[in-house]
Structure 1
């Protein structure tokens, strides 16, 4: 069970000098981006380590390069673009493989860079979910951002559309959430 600060119940979370504030806004899209608008594509596999706030990520580029990292996200209990504190540690393949042996819930997606957005197209039981995010360095940038027309609805403050929640979401739950916003994926 988690507490209001996003930590495990009974644990206190203290920001450290290595954590940075994460500012992002999230939006649902009805469709994946047009291939001609994509500047970079990656296949991402996230492993949410059970009982923790830790996420193990493997991001593979089409040219064979890949990035391995361990991330801790500590949410803050306030609405808006400030999602909380984020700390990333980049890993060697051996470090990644060791951590990948821990129990985890798995989530996979393709991420397309379509400036100013990063667009995630999910697969598996989350097929049909297209979630875009824009990241910011200041609160002012986040507040003044005007989302592109293809953004159906903003879900920044809807915890259902966070990776930590989506990794536990059933197909039926997802289809219900999307229908609330008028999105009906093909084949569902």
Structure 2
């Protein structure tokens, strides 16, 4: 990949032959969404393949459906809604199972669709973390987006709240980070 395609050193981000520009903004929420606001639910298991920029995802939908995909994310060093380049490849069960045998760090969460947000409620050592994201087609959409009132703080530019970082985060670190934003998932 060329420097231009990767958006290195402030250059514009250009999609490659298969990659597309990923535009999203992330927000912390104090609590999970109320069930009446949820339009769809899926349980997601992300396997971050050790030593790579690859994520293997299995999403199990509440209707019994299952989606499996391999994703490569190439981040760019600039603030704002443009997160970098993303490439997805959808997999058969056999392809997923083969790749799932590779060494990986695992992150589990339940994603609730609460338009215009996808709200992730984490489990395991990240229990209590509720992170919402909104995705956009254009830079203008990302910049003009007004987050709903349930969004406590925007963490788009805080790399600690990206999947690749969260998968390596201890409970103690998470509680410290949330406290910086005035959140205490273990509070009353």
What's the TM-score, normalizing by structure 2? 0.92
Q: List 4+ stretches of structure 1 deviating above 3 A.
A: none
- For residues 54 and 107 of structure 1, the distance between their equivalents in structure 2, rounded to whole angstroms, comes to 13
- For residues 72 and 80 of structure 1, the distance between their equivalents in structure 2, rounded to whole angstroms, comes to 20
Matches within 5 A, 1:1-188: 16-186=16-186
Q: CA RMSD in A?
A: 1.7
Look up the SS of the partner of 2:77 in the other structure: coil
| Residue number in structure 1 paired with 2:3 | none
Deviation at residue 183 of structure 1 after TM alignment = 0.5
CA deviations 1:71-106 (Å, max 9, x no partner) are 000001110000000000000000000000000000
Q: Any conservation in 1 of the 2:15–2:21 contact (CA below 8 Å)?
A: no
- For residues 122 and 142 of structure 2, the distance between their equivalents in structure 1, rounded to whole angstroms, comes to 25
Deviation at residue 16 of structure 1 after TM alignment = 2.5
- For residues 58 and 136 of structure 2, the distance between their equivalents in structure 1, rounded to whole angstroms, comes to 23
Deviation at residue 15 of structure 1 after TM alignment = 5.4
> Number of paired residues?
178
- For residues 187 and 170 of structure 2, the distance between their equivalents in structure 1, rounded to whole angstroms, comes to 16
Deviation at residue 63 of structure 1 after TM alignment = 1.4
Structure 2 unaligned segments of length 5 or more: list them.
1-5, 8-13
- For residues 63 and 102 of structure 2, the distance between their equivalents in structure 1, rounded to whole angstroms, comes to 29
